[in-house]
Structure 1
């Protein structure tokens, strides 16, 4: 079966038609690409705006955090002390320091003497807030180390100091009850070392309900089994007054930060 050959005019017409379809398709593709590029540009612009906003917000929060940190550390309530050296012996003489009737390895709590100068002695610290004790000195040693001919044969205790900032009118029993009821870790304020150097350490700040909020620094002495005892066995800390040596300390100041909870 034969077919009739197309004329030149027919071929030209078909070519024009095909070319028109190609142009239309190309225009549609171009329009699609342009639209997609526009959408991408819009998305990128929106994303950049969001990034800029997030960066600005972060910068603002960081600046505020820095400001809040600065304010929290700048707001201080300070108890001043006289830097006078206090020892186990002077505390016994001046404040009737005695062993705690419930645990003779610890003393009762007594107010740190202020040398007669009441300036800055009573303050209104915030309870349960970060409180720093600044010491000039804090000496603790084991007298049993020097025993002869056998070390620690008689005295195997070492005396440390513990401090707390609380109501000036509080009794030792009230302080102990408050420590127990609030679950306070009093060991964070364990102070003393053979090097007798200055230090800064955390101490608790508490308020006893029903007492005037005037507050002072209290101290108690605590005996532990000396770390020099190589075979402690069943040795227990001994009576705080009779054993452990005459530790000593001197206080520069106590700084309470009312905006920093602990």
Structure 2
């Protein structure tokens, strides 16, 4: 137990240091490049490494903290969810390092893995007992838009199956899952399965996560170089991880026996 506590403190300290490095470099690049997308991308390679490192450490932390979970099954679900989160961040960062010109592919795969992350969270937050391990009604409802968008793409009559359109469809599906996950989390306090402190962390964790994704949405709305829209996008991008990291930490902490 002492070793786990020490490991948690060390990981949290490293995450904090990496977040400060990431933020400092983001704002330095913005000061140097201004609202010029290509300049910022070329200058931001370090942040791709630090963000992946943070995501990896968050996943390691999830595996450590869940050893002290109030529920073995809850711990298992949270671990699986964080594996998908790591895969998503791997796409967002590692693919961009290996293939800088494949941003659309990187974003599409990353968002797709985050859909699976939200699926895991929705399943986790709708469980009502320790033996409740089957998908609930919410998952069946979510199959409707997924099937609809998939049919539109595969048919090719409504939506042409290009990479750009696939990305738009994946973003639309993710938005549905994210909003559903937020609503489920806000009502999780009505589910007596979770301790009160855990339910509170889940609610706030998803609220902050939603704010982070709203910032991601703004960051993706790029415009002409030096334009106000481009500046807003870059400023929003520089705040994303200040929402993302606390949100992930709250979701991780929500599994502990004593919060």
Task: Identify the structure with the greater helix proportion.
Answer: 2
Q: TM-score, normalised by structure 1?
A: 0.24
CA radius of gyration, larger in = 1
Larger relative contact order (CA 8 Å, sep ≥ 6): 1
Q: TM-score, normalised by structure 2?
A: 0.24
Task: Identify the structure with the greater strand proportion.
Answer: 1
